[in-house]
Structures are given as C-alpha cells and as structure tokens.
Structure 1
Amino acid sequence: MAWKQHGDGKHVAPDAIVLPEERLSWPKTIGFGAQHVVAMFGATFLVPLITGFPPSATLFFSGLGTILFLLLTGNRLPSYLGSSFAFIAPITAALAGGPEGDLSRASFGILSIGVLMAIVGVIVQKFGTGWINALMPPVVMGTIVALIGFNLAPAVKNNWNATENSGWVALITIVSVLLITMLFRGLIGRLSIVLGMVVGYIAAILFGEIDFTAVKEAAWIGLPEFHLPANPFSDPALWGLLPMFIPVVLVLIAENVGHVKSVGLMINRDLDPVTGRALLADGISTMLAGFGGGSGTTTYGENIGVMAATRVYSTAAYWVAGIIAILLGFCPKVGAVIFTVPAGVLAGVTVALYGLIGLIGVKIWIDNKVDFSKPINQFTAAVALIVGIADFGLTVGSEANPIVFNGIALGTIAAVGVYHLMRLAAKVRGGEPVVADPVVTGGIVVNADDK
C-alpha cells in the first residue's frame, strides 16, 4: 500500500491538511495511529465490559474490521470501526433469554445484522441513498436512534445500585467525566469518558470493590477468546431474536452516512459515491465479529474528533491503529483488566453515555430542521419514544419458536408505521406535503475548541 508523503513528512502547515492518500513520516504516522487507538479504546472496550463479550475478540475484530474497511473503500475514507453501542440493548435481551454465560445467541444476532448491512451496502452502491431517506426521513431516523439510547436507562440504575458503594463510585465517576470535559481542551477533553473511568476505578480500589486475582492469573500472550454463533437451523427459536436486532441496522446506516458526509465536508470532497462501500465494509466487519465472538462494529465519531483537531486524514494512520488493535487482542491480560471494572464505574459512565446516544437522535432532528409544530412529526416521535423507553414487549408465534419484540423493535415499528400512516392519510385528505425532501445526517459532534 503506497501513500504520497505530505511536504517534508514532519510538519503540517496551519492552513494545510494531510489527505487520505498522503502520510507524514512513518514515526509520525505511527504516533497518529496510536492516538487513534487511544481515542477509540474507551468506547470499544465498554461494549464487551457491559455485555460480557470477550474484550480480546472485540479488539481483534475491530482492528480487522478497520483494515477491511480501508481496503473496501480504496483508502479513500479514513475511519476506525469500533464497537457499536446500538447492539447493547438487543445483546442484553438475547443473553437474558438463554443459558447464563452463553454468548452464542447474541452472536447470531450480530452476524445477522452484518449480513443485512452488507445487503444494504450493495443496494446503496447500485441505487443510492434516496430510498433510505424515503423510508426513514429525519424524524423517523432520529426517533429510532434516540429510543435505543433511552431504552437502556434501567441498566444504569441496576449498576448504580449493584453494591453498597456502587452509588458513590458512580457519582465520583460521572463528576470526574463532567469536570474533565469542561476543564480540558483537545485530546484530553475528548477522552473524558476514559479518564473519568480511571478516576472512578481508583475510587473503587479504595472502596475495596476490585479483585485483581484474574489479572494476575492471565497470560501476557494468548489467542483471543473466539466463539461461534448459535446455529438457527438446529435451534429455530433463534430466528425469533431478529426483531430485537433489526433496528440496529437503521442506526448503523445513520452513523455510516453521517461519517461519510462529515469527512467529505472536512476535506472538501464529495465522498457520497463511497457510501455503499462503507456500508458494505461495516456489514462484512460485523459479520466477521458475529461469527468469531466479537461485538458489532460501526464508524467512530471519537476518531473524527482527532482528525478535526490534527487535520491529519491519512488512512496510513488508521492502518497502524488497526494493526495495534489486532495485537492487543492477543494479550489476555488486557481483557482481564477490562473485566475488573466494577458496576459503579459503569453506572457513572453510562448515565451520561446512554443519554448521549439518545441525544444523537435529537441532533438528527436539529440538523435536518424537523418541524415539531406538525402533528405527523409530533406523533411519530411521541408514540415511538414512549414505547421504546417503557420497553413494551410482545411475543408471537408458538411457545417452542417464539418471536420476541422488545421496546426497541416495537418503537421502531411505531416510528415507521405512524409516520407513513399519517402521511398516507394526509395525501388522501389532499393536504399540503407534510415534509420537505429529507437528508439524514449522522450524530457526529466535534468540540468547538477543536475546529
């Protein structure tokens, strides 16, 4: 893989940017790659920590997925594929319905979403994104993303109350996250989640909440903890899990489309033709993760922030980051340390993190100027959010092969159904158009200080 060297390879002029096909000197490039690993690490390891998936396999497949993404997009779109938080709720529901410690059911759901994402990528590559916008205009897309975040609120409360000291540890963690966010700029400010967890972790040690026995026993070098997904042909009940996972596809689409548009704006290029490839790459990456025991992947806003701050968009740095992540996957001691993080620290982080996931949906509304004075937008969001946040449930089919719809699945159905039903009614009535042509954007947030 060849990159053209930018300038002297050592410096970037204040008004210049390093384009995807360029690189700095290799020592500088390795440094930027390590910076991307730091930026992605906190969010990527949080998913296995919350769900119980092996951190080693998750890191391995995130690195492998990143390299695959770069290959399939022809090194034109810099991105890191880290663990997607959108999978947390359906994974949790899938684990609750099976034997304790059995991750294979959830892996089947992840694998299925990867297949569906890859199909969407092929369709988008051939026909564009117009059909996505028609099916899920911004009010629908924003609502679905929002309810996925808010649906996880009860999990935060459970972690907050897990032990006698969990509440205090959680409070110390969230206050640390907030103070670091406000007091520091640049990379430190963007790493407030990770650094807040470090402060909370130290507090948990002082409270006697952490047992390091597993860390001492873990080897420094070893294979990632791979496992296969459950077989739906020998256990047909697995097909009933899919309604809980399918809404995740909509979030992944929004994140990938938003990533493509964000990077295109920052480097002043039209990258829309790469959107289909990006979706296909994320789909294949998620398929591989589901097949081998990792978490589903998505493009990462954390790394967008690093690029915005440094003005270095070189894909060479992402190759370095992917390789480092793969190597970390072969260190079982890293996974053992991750699993020592107690419930209180998780509660402190997720009380903000899950809310921020919900607010990405709100940002989609704002970015696309959704008019909530119109009843069609009001009822689409209102009905779906209540169904999702209350976590309504519905089970259909036989007792042996049930199909389970949780709050996220039912909320998604409600958002799409209410919107299109009311739009059809408006057309029958002969009223004015209910929405303008929609353009769905992602939920990328870049600190003002980094612009």
Structure 2
Amino acid sequence: MNLLGTTWRLHGDGRSVAPGQVVTPDERLSWPRTIGIGLQHVVAMFGATFLVPLITGMPPATTLFFSGIGTLFFLILTRGRVPSYLGSSFAFIAPIMASQQQYGVSGALGGVVIAGLTLAILGLIVQKFGSSWINRLMPAPVTGTIVALIGLNLAPSARSNFELAPVTALITLLTIILVSVLFRGILGRLAILVGVLVGYGVAVVSNEVDFSKIDAAPWLGLPQFQTPTFHLAVLGLFIPVVLVLLAENIGHVKSVALMTGENLDSYAGRAIMADGVATTLAGFGGGSGTTTYAENIGVMAATKVYSTAAYWVAGIAALLLSFSPKFGELIATVPAGVLGGAATLLYGMIGILGVRIWVQNKVSFSNNINLTTAAVALIVGIANFTWTLGSLTFEGIALGTAAALITYHGMSALARWRGTAEDPLTPDTDPATATLAK
C-alpha cells in the first residue's frame, strides 16, 4: 500500500505473527493489528507529552494537534524509513517558562519558532555534510553537561508544584517509582502515565480538581491557536535547546538502526529537518516544541514492531483527539500536586540523561578539561546565573551552555598549544579510577 510516498509490504499472511518476530519499517501487520499498535503508541506518549503544556500553561489540545501533524510530517520527510512519534520536548520547559515571565505565551512561541528554524537548517547541513561536525562541536563531555543542566535548572519549579499539594504529589511520585520497578514490558514503560492517573484519582477525592470547564466545553471544535511574537532577548534561552534536539534526533536514528539492523545514517539529516519543521509549525500555532520519543522506542523494543504504518495511525489518532475541546479541558484539569510529583522525577531524569551520556561515552573526569567543563557549567545552570546586556538577559541555561562550550574548547586549545594535558576524549585507563566508575 502507498500512503504519501510510503510503501509497505504485508508482513507474513497478516493473520499470525510469532512472538518476538520483527516487523521492519517497510512492513505492516494486518490493519486491525496495525491500528492496535498505533493506538498503543498514542497511550505511550500521553503522560509525557501532556506534562509539558500542563506545566507551561499552554493548551493541551493544541500541543496534541501539532504533535500529530509533526509525526505525520516526520514520516513523509524520512520516506517512511524511520519510525518515530514526535511528542513534547522537556528541553523546552525551562526556556518557555522563563520567556513567559517577560513576554507572555506569544513571546515563548517566538522562541519555539526560532529553535525550530535553527534545527531545520542544521538538519539540511547534516544531510549535506554528515553529522561528524556535531561530534566535534559537542563531544560527550559538553553534550552530557548541557542536557544535565537543562533538567536540573528546573528543580525549583518541581518543588513549587510539589509543595502546593504534598500528599498528592508524594503518592504520584511513589506510584511512578513502584510501577517502573514492579512491572516489565509495556506497563513498566507507562509508569508516568499510571502515576499521573493514580495521582489524579487522589486529587479528585481530595477535591483538588475543578470540572467546571469540562462541562462547558463542546465535544467537537478546533484547538486554541495562537500566533508568536519575536524578541531578541529569548535567543539565549532557546538556542541551547537546539543542541539537545540535535543529539536526541541523531540518537533516535542510531537506536532504530540498531534495533532493526538497518543503516539509517542517510536519514539523520532528514529526521533533524523534520523535527525542526514540526517544532516551527508548533511555534507558529501555539504548541510546544517537539522531539522523538523514548517511550515509543520502548514500545517498539517490547513489541518488535517497527512498522511506520503504526505511526501513521498514532499521528492521525492524535489529530482526531485534538479536535475535542472537552478532551483538552479534561487534560487541563490535572492539578499542581500531580504535576509536582511527576516533575520531581522527570526533571531529575533529564539531568541524569546527561550523566548517562558521560557514562556511555566513558568520559574521564580525572581529566581537568572534562571536570572543569562540567563543574562550571552545572553550577551556572543550576543556580540560574543571570547576565543582563542592554535589553538582553541571559539566564542559567544559556550561560551554562556557553560556559560548557567555551570552557571545553578553550581549555582544549590551550592544552594542545602548551602540551599540558591529554586528549579529553581518551577514556580513563587508570585502574583505581576505572574501579570507582563501575
């Protein structure tokens, strides 16, 4: 079957699939099974995708609309070779919240558009020249530091929501933790969604939920769209996010290639461009920025179904749900306590993802260049250092990112000139340090 340039072969007879049997991106199951897997992808992205608009105060239905549009556009631009769902990116939370304080929602949307356009341009460059230059600009010591400081910069926000309803927040957090450790497979991967649902139930019993807007909302209607305004001052907040999205998209392509056994390097630039365009469209219409979703990679890993046909189903289902204002208002009723419990884990997870980048790439902190890069940038980002230059204000994420890049490349250049340090990318071979790292 051909759908906007995507051709799938029916997998087997379409009726029976052996457990663990791999379904490749250009294959599909029978349509009933494909629809079932597609809806499973929608459920997988729910908990995380909706947390971003809920935390930032943006309309959930609008975010869902552009999430669906972005997913479909991604599939078209990658020619149906890279299965992916584009959900809300946590990397946008901090810059959106910071820019809203001064310029409102429209100013934050302008920042999302700028980030999206920048990412799309970088995607074109990657498609033309490859991605090796990204590794030179942002080696693991720098990338891990930037990802970590973006997550940890949000810690005060998590605490604020947690303190508004500590019992609900604690139950939400504990549920997520218990589900993630007690269950395997799909349920374990949906721990955030389960935790939010349990926390929501507690909030209902505690009269923390206001249902009045749900009753007033119609069943069918358009999402709430809003146009952006552009301010030079938000550049420093949103450009660092682009670096994170670059790493996420390249990581996604490599992960899918590893799982499917196919070489997808030629599609890395297309994937980055698609995410950039999807984020740009979201910014122009009132949605939050998008990124490829680890939750959906988890679904693929658990089911062994990598068919992009299932993602067409997921994207279309997300679009249909976005046209129900009643559904959007239902999502918007999630109270602060639930958000505080989930955010306590999620923001920390973003920070730890940075640490994971260090570990996976064997970053040696016995090397002073790596150590100093992380030490300076993390303190600047977590403490939210601020620097005002005329009408421009640069805060923790922007300054921390700049600190990481300048410190790493500056120290590396000086060390090469003086011959005073080893290559910071050389893994640590000291037996004592290696033992401590295990």
**Does the pair score TM above 0.5?**
yes
Change (3 A) 1:130 1:6: same
- 1:282 and 1:10 map into 2 onto residues whose CA distance is 34
**Map of 1:148-227 to 2, 5 A cutoff?**
148-162=150-164, 166-227=165-226
Partner of 2:108, secondary structure, is helix
**Would you say 1:78 and 2:113 are equivalent positions?**
no
Equivalent residue, structure 2, for 1:445: none
**Would you say 1:403 and 2:388 are equivalent positions?**
no
Q: Name which of 135, 138, 163 aligns with 1:136.
A: 138
Kindly provide the CA deviation profile for residues 96-142 of structure 1, in whole angstroms up to 9, marking residues without a partner as x. 113xxx41101000000010000000000011111111111000000
- 1:432 and 1:192 map into 2 onto residues whose CA distance is 45
Q: Name which of 297, 309, 324 aligns with 1:316.
A: 309
**Would you say 1:350 and 2:355 are equivalent positions?**
no
Q: Which amino acid aligns with 2:406?
A: G
**Would you say 1:368 and 2:361 are equivalent positions?**
yes
Kindly provide the CA deviation profile for residues 334-380 of structure 1, in whole angstroms up to 9, marking residues without a partner as x. 11111111111111101101000111111111111111110001000
Equivalent residue, structure 2, for 1:449: none
- 1:413 and 1:358 map into 2 onto residues whose CA distance is 18
**Higher normalized helix content (fraction of residues):** 2
- 2:15 and 2:345 map into 1 onto residues whose CA distance is 38
- 2:426 and 2:74 map into 1 onto residues whose CA distance is 30
Note if contact 2:225-2:286 (Cα within 8 Å) is conserved in structure 1. Answer: yes
Note if contact 2:367-2:424 (Cα within 8 Å) is conserved in structure 1. Answer: no
Q: Which amino acid aligns with 1:23?
A: R
Q: Name which of 112, 115, 120 aligns with 2:117.
A: 115
Q: Structure 1 length normalisation: TM-score?
A: 0.92
Note if contact 1:40-1:82 (Cα within 8 Å) is conserved in structure 2. Answer: yes
Note if contact 1:107-1:290 (Cα within 8 Å) is conserved in structure 2. Answer: yes
Note if contact 1:12-1:18 (Cα within 8 Å) is conserved in structure 2. Answer: no
Question: How many angstroms does 1:215 deviate by?
Answer: 0.8
**Map of 1:388-399 to 2, 5 A cutoff?**
388-397=381-390
Partner of 2:84, secondary structure, is coil
**Would you say 1:341 and 2:341 are equivalent positions?**
no
- 2:228 and 2:171 map into 1 onto residues whose CA distance is 38
Q: Name which of 27, 31, 47 aligns with 2:52.
A: 47
Equivalent residue, structure 1, for 2:277: 284
Partner of 1:404, secondary structure, is strand
Note if contact 2:369-2:424 (Cα within 8 Å) is conserved in structure 1. Answer: no
Bigger CA drift: 316-325 or 124-133? 124-133
Q: Which amino acid aligns with 1:215?
A: I
Equivalent residue, structure 2, for 1:254: 247
**Would you say 1:423 and 2:423 are equivalent positions?**
no
Equivalent residue, structure 1, for 2:432: none
Partner of 2:388, secondary structure, is strand
- 2:49 and 2:96 map into 1 onto residues whose CA distance is 15
- Structure 2: unaligned runs, 5 residues or longer: 428-438
**Would you say 1:63 and 2:68 are equivalent positions?**
yes
Note if contact 1:244-1:404 (Cα within 8 Å) is conserved in structure 2. Answer: no
**Count of equivalent residues:** 422
Partner of 1:395, secondary structure, is strand
Kindly provide the CA deviation profile for residues 41-79 of structure 1, in whole angstroms up to 9, marking residues without a partner as x. 111111110001111111010000001000000100000
Equivalent residue, structure 2, for 1:443: none
Note if contact 2:176-2:195 (Cα within 8 Å) is conserved in structure 1. Answer: yes
Equivalent residue, structure 2, for 1:235: none
Q: Which amino acid aligns with 1:221?
A: L
- 1:23 and 1:322 map into 2 onto residues whose CA distance is 16
Q: Which amino acid aligns with 2:236?
A: P
Question: How many angstroms does 1:437 deviate by?
Answer: 7.9
Q: Which amino acid aligns with 1:344?
A: G
Equivalent residue, structure 1, for 2:39: 34
- 1:437 and 1:278 map into 2 onto residues whose CA distance is 30
Equivalent residue, structure 1, for 2:234: 241
Q: Which amino acid aligns with 1:404?
A: T
Question: How many angstroms does 1:327 deviate by?
Answer: 0.6
- Structure 1: unaligned runs, 5 residues or longer: 233-237, 439-451
- 1:418 and 1:183 map into 2 onto residues whose CA distance is 42
- 1:369 and 1:224 map into 2 onto residues whose CA distance is 46
- 2:298 and 2:180 map into 1 onto residues whose CA distance is 14
Q: Name which of 89, 106, 109 aligns with 2:94.
A: 89
Q: Name which of 10, 17, 29 aligns with 2:15.
A: 10
- 1:390 and 1:425 map into 2 onto residues whose CA distance is 28
Identity of aligned pairs, percent? 60
- 1:12 and 1:433 map into 2 onto residues whose CA distance is 53
**Would you say 1:297 and 2:290 are equivalent positions?**
yes
Note if contact 2:363-2:425 (Cα within 8 Å) is conserved in structure 1. Answer: no
- 1:29 and 1:251 map into 2 onto residues whose CA distance is 32
Q: Which amino acid aligns with 1:161?
A: E
Equivalent residue, structure 1, for 2:128: 126
What's the RMSD between the two structures over aligned residues?
1.2
- 2:86 and 2:145 map into 1 onto residues whose CA distance is 24
Equivalent residue, structure 2, for 1:20: 25
Question: How many angstroms does 1:31 deviate by?
Answer: 0.3
Q: Which amino acid aligns with 2:347?
A: Y
Equivalent residue, structure 2, for 1:146: 148
Equivalent residue, structure 1, for 2:435: none
Question: How many angstroms does 1:211 deviate by?
Answer: 1.1
Q: Which amino acid aligns with 2:337?
A: G
- 2:68 and 2:203 map into 1 onto residues whose CA distance is 30
Question: How many angstroms does 1:11 deviate by?
Answer: 2.9
- 2:425 and 2:166 map into 1 onto residues whose CA distance is 47
- 1:414 and 1:251 map into 2 onto residues whose CA distance is 15
- 1:325 and 1:433 map into 2 onto residues whose CA distance is 50
- 1:268 and 1:383 map into 2 onto residues whose CA distance is 40
Partner of 1:350, secondary structure, is helix
Note if contact 2:364-2:425 (Cα within 8 Å) is conserved in structure 1. Answer: no
Equivalent residue, structure 1, for 2:401: 412
Question: How many angstroms does 1:436 deviate by?
Answer: 3.7
